Amino acid sequence: MAKVAFLGLGIMGYPMAGHLLKKGGHEVTVYNRNAAKSAQWTKEYGGKSASTPKEAAAGADFVMMCVGNDDDVRSVVYGDNGALAGMRKGATLVDHTTASAILARELYAKCKEKGIDFIDAPVSGGQAGAVNGQLGIMCGGDEAVFAKAKPVLDIYAKSCVLIGAAGAGQLTKMVNQIAIAGLLQGLSEAMNFGKKAGLDMEKVVAVISKGAAGSWQMENRWKAMNDVKFDGFGFAVDWMRKDLGICLEEAKKNGARLPTTAMIDQFYAQVQARGGARWDTCSLMHLLAKD
């Protein structure tokens, strides 16, 4: 049994922290900016809550975090009440936030200075993957540190792979988001075309989902697209735009051309303008079905 802190109890972090305690049997202390969420978590799962990241991280073997963006990560890691101020030498900081590769390398260096290990470990699989403990975890860091952390990460992972050095996990998540964005636009256009052609889309999807066009997005989001209803589930447009912004910024540095990604990012801006900031990312369909 390890002593684990989990910082950030959003739609992903809340169930992930729960798995560490219930499924993994670890001693878990949570921190969330909204203390009421921490109280709700401890009531549901047990464990402990802390009033600051420093307090949560004190004495922990592993400190996991899953927050919003680069600035949020820095706010819970640095400063007098940040996680690094409470962590002991030899402990491991694991960042599940989808953030920049620059931040991952920065955190790796800062942790090294303090004798603390670090892994950037963004996740894929959405809320359902977090709830079911079936996430894809893409990691960057040192092999020995990954080997130490993997048994803990496996508690909520379907797949957990070390891709390369610090930052490689975040870069892999960018690849993931670029692929998803293009797939969702293609699926939106295909669904809209089929509907305009008067086809029974349930029958269409039943056939094509078993062939080369099949995907997780098709299996899980075709119904929402068909009904043009995007509330109450999935990965929000605001979050996708944050992620695509990171991808486009990184592409400026490495010289990769992302014309389709840039176009789809602007499509998501149009969805936001229609009031869809919290809609699922499959809401690209709204731009086609509601013109």
The catalytic site residues sit at: 173
Give the residue from 288, 182, 179 showing the smallest Cα distance to 226.
Answer: 288
The CA-based diameter of the chain, rounded to the nearest angstrom, is 64
Q: Token digits for 270?
A: 């149009």
Distance of alpha carbon 285 from alpha carbon 269, whole angstroms? 13
CA nearest 64: which of 5, 142, 137, 125? Answer: 5
CA distance 240 to 265: 8
Sequence-ordered strand ranges (E) for 43-194: 48-49, 62-65, 92-95, 117-120, 123-124, 135-140, 157-164
At 94, is the secondary structure helix, strand, or coil?
A: strand
